[in-house]
Amino acid sequence: MDKKYDAVICGKLQGFGRTADWQGMLAYLQGLSHSAFRTASYVLADHVLPPLTADNYWGCFHTVALSDTKAFLMTFLKAALHKYQAQSLDFQHEYFISFAYSSMGESVSLDRQKTIKAILPVLRTPAEVQCVLDAFCGADSERKINYLAFAGESMPCYFVLFHLLRQIDHTPDQQVKILRQIIRRSTPLAYNFVSIMRAYFSLEQLKGSYSLNMQPYELSRIEGGYEAFLQVMNKIK
């Protein structure tokens, strides 16, 4: 079993954090044994990175995490999510955006997949979801839709997905394919979303037991903004 804390390692890493010596931190981490490095990863995520200011966190991310994303990315994402939920960090910093841009031209990027999968479900607003997707995917709507279809669910993600599905209203087969993926989640939110989308886009070819009975004016309300979308989604049980 991995050792998740070591006072000496923690003290060293906190010292680098206090002085914002990210190159020193990187050199120290690279000099650790395999087992000590695993311990240091836990210490970073749980004790060293969360107390940093947002600017210092992203400075450390830029120097340490991006030096070897295979070794460091998930450790830093764990701390980032903790800081985001504590409202001490967002995902609009220039270092995060530049990291996202760096993978945009790659057809397949494990870093992009890991980051989007970790971040999207916890974002509080549709604007934040859109910002992250824009940073990683640019204007590629198909890529955005695929990430939303396979990421964890949330109301902001469903709202952004709804608007992206409107952009491909001329390809109902693609809409049906995405909604079939969503329904596999087997959650109340997924069922509600697919039911509404099936009625909104008149996707009769999407087979299943859908007892939804909504008037056209009720369906059109979801075009009125996020709050209206929430009301319609929460109305159906």
DSSP reduced 3-state for 102:
helix
Question: pLDDT of 151-186, one tens digit each?
Answer: 889 999 999 999 999 999 889 999 999 999 999 998
Stretch 126-139: mean pLDDT: 96
pLDDT at residue 221 tops 90? no
**Residue 29 pLDDT greater than 80, yes or no:** yes
| Cα(160)–Cα(158) distance, integer angstroms | 5
Burial state string for 157-189 with b = 16 or more CB within 10 A and e = fewer than 16: bbbbbbebbeebeeeeeebbebbebbbeeeeeb
Residue 212 has pLDDT above 90, yes or no: no
Report residue 1's pLDDT band, with 50, 70 and 90 as the boundaries.
low
pLDDT in tens, 37-88: 999 999 999 999 999 999 999 999 999 999 999 999 999 999 999 999 999 9
CA 75/CA 93 separation, integer angstroms: 18
Distances (CA, A) of 165 to 161, 177, 212: 6, 11, 19
Tell me what pLDDT residue 34 has.
Answer: 96
Model pLDDT, residue 204: 84
pLDDT, averaged across the chain: 92
Show the DSSP H helices in 47-203 as ranges.
Answer: 54-63, 69-85, 94-102, 110-119, 126-137, 141-150, 155-167, 172-183, 188-200
**To which residue do tokens 């940073």 refer?**
135
Residues 96-118 have pLDDT tens digits of 999 999 988 787 789 999 999 99
Would the pLDDT of 211 be above 60?
A: no
Query: What integer pLDDT is reported at residue 209 of this predicted model?
Result: 61
**Taking residues 199-207, what's their average pLDDT?**
86
What integer pLDDT is reported at residue 96 of this predicted model? Answer: 97
